[in-house]
Amino acid sequence: MIVVVSIENTFAQGPDLKTAAAYRASRPFYEALKGAYQLVGLSTATEDIARWWLKREHMGEWAMLRLWTPDSPFSYLEWKVQEVREFLSAGWEVAFYIDSDWSPLMAVTRLGVSTLRVEHAHNVPGWRDPETTAPRPWSEVAATVEAIHAEGD
């Protein structure tokens, strides 16, 4: 059974493996997955860069890496879905597809594959950067909570 993982923006902090660091939880998540499944990685990097980055981040054991290139007939998002479709048509059992982008996740779900969305704190709606955003006054927070509570009565 395989797990297909989109590496950029899921394990890597950004779309460029030449400059991206791994998210803090990436390696433990990788280790848990690797212990139970064969991992297939999807990336926009070249094979040398992808393997270098994964080895550097101590995530070097993958059953297969699949690499998107700009000359593909599919956009990157379409290509990720097409890769899962090809694994299924070849008879592989795909346990999960893991990504940080909703678009391919929804399409893969329609193929009958379970998906996991990895969301990092800086992308969560409502999360604020304490360095660039001032906290709201407590009275405003309390008034919002009271208004929501009153609507539920």
pLDDT of 134 over the 80 cut: no
Among 29-33, 83-87, 124-128, where is mean pLDDT lowest?
Answer: 124-128
Beta sheet of 38-43, edge-to-edge order = 64-67, 38-43, 2-6, 94-99, 115-117
Average pLDDT estimate for 136-143 = 79
Helix 76-89 to helix 102-110 angle (10° resolution) is 30
49 by Cβ neighbours in 10 Å (0-12 / 13-18 / 19+) ranks as: middle
List the domains of the chain with CATH numbers: 2-152 (3.40.50.1000)
Which pTM does this prediction carry?
0.77
Q: Which helix (H) or strand (E) holds 105?
A: helix 102-110
- Specify the pLDDT at position 127: 57
